[in-house]
Amino acid sequence: MSTDKRVLGLISVILGASLWGIGGTATDWLFRNTPVNVDWYVTARLLISGIILVSVFLLLFKKKSTTVWDRYLVTRFVIYSIFGMALVQYSFTATIGYGNAAIATVLQCTGPIYIILYYVFRKYIQFTYKEALVILFMIVGVILIATNGNLSQLIVSPLALFWGILSGMALAYYTVHAAYLLVRMHPLELVGGSMLVGGILLNFKTPIWSLDFHYDWSALEIGVLIFSILIGTTLAFLLYIGSLKYITSQEAGILGLLEPVMAVLTTVIVLGDVLEVFQVVGITLILGITISNTISSKKEAKA
């Protein structure tokens, strides 16, 4: 592979991850300043992004696709669309709604805990001191974020904590289940298709046309809404998926951690939220363990 293509892949994943993080903060801003709520936003986000990504797949990659839609694949795809894509998107967005973008993004990074536990339960790996330390440090990080070191009180909304932990679980399922489906499906076909299915299902609960259109929308508010969906979601996914053609999934995973970093920075700088000292320690701990675990996995894959 040429150096130019590798550089393109690195730039794509860096931009994609950064846009994800900034998009989370944009979503947070919308919840605070407009009639947009969690239910409507997730429906709109999944539907619009799903339509665009599926269209890109049909236009550019359909002819090269070798997907055979048998009963087994359809069943797994529908399950993934509901409990993978839709649930991870809803739980993450709900965490933003009840907390903020920084907390939501970092709590979602606890996904490796549940992946480890699943692999141990299925006996794919042995439970060693390494796995125990990853889980321990992740739990300590979550406790510090939730309490700022004072175990007698929560400084994060209980609902934000609930949805944040659930988003980590959903992300773990999303990651593990995707591995089986990607053997038979193109990444855009899987991501875009599952978004579209999830959006259609959620549209029955909260139709996309149920937004308060009588609200006096400013140009800034419309711009942020468009940015959060088209740039912070659709383009971010396209860039991230596109990068996998030129760099390894482990490299993409490491650079993908720019998402929580950007979410934390923009939440503090743009929204003016203040993170307490022990919350910063907890965030650093979770991100540090995630990076270390990703690098370690990369080395093991090479061995």
pLDDT confidence tier of residue 297, bands split at 50, 70 and 90: low
Q: What is the mean pLDDT of residues 279-297?
A: 80
Indicate if 175 and 206 belong to the same structural domain. yes
Least confident interval from 159-163, 198-202, 243-247 = 243-247
> In this predicted structure, what is the pLDDT of residue 33?
94
> In this predicted structure, what is the pLDDT of residue 225?
95
> In this predicted structure, what is the pLDDT of residue 259?
85
**In this structure, what DSSP letter does residue 68 have?**
-
Q: pLDDT for 67-94, tens place per residue?
A: 889 999 999 999 999 999 999 999 999 9
Q: How many domains does the chain have?
A: 2
Q: What is the mean pLDDT of residues 247-255?
A: 69
Q: Which domain holds residue 59?
A: 41-218+266-302
Task: Using only the alpha carbons of the chain, give its radius of gyration.
Answer: 19
Tokens of 129: 């001191």
Indicate if 17 and 106 belong to the same structural domain. no
Indicate if 61 and 130 belong to the same structural domain. yes
Q: How far apart (Å, rounded) are the C-alpha atoms in residues 169 and 302?
A: 27
Residue 127 neighbours by CB distance under 10 Å? 14
Pick from 300, 279, 236, 288: nearest CA to 99: 279
Indicate if 47 and 192 belong to the same structural domain. yes
Indicate if 230 and 249 belong to the same structural domain. yes
Indicate if 133 and 169 belong to the same structural domain. yes
> In this predicted structure, what is the pLDDT of residue 2?
65
Indicate if 81 and 53 belong to the same structural domain. yes
pLDDT confidence tier of residue 230, bands split at 50, 70 and 90: very high
Q: Decide if pLDDT at 303 tops 60.
A: no
Indicate if 30 and 60 belong to the same structural domain. no
Indicate if 14 and 67 belong to the same structural domain. no
Q: How far apart (Å, rounded) are the C-alpha atoms in residues 42 and 200?
A: 11
> In this predicted structure, what is the pLDDT of residue 1?
54
Indicate if 134 and 98 belong to the same structural domain. yes
In percent, how much of the chain has pLDDT > 70?
94
Q: Decide if pLDDT at 300 tops 60.
A: no
Q: How far apart (Å, rounded) are the C-alpha atoms in residues 198 and 51?
A: 11
Q: Decide if pLDDT at 128 tops 70.
A: yes
Indicate if 130 and 181 belong to the same structural domain. yes
Indicate if 51 and 166 belong to the same structural domain. yes
> In this predicted structure, what is the pLDDT of residue 294?
67
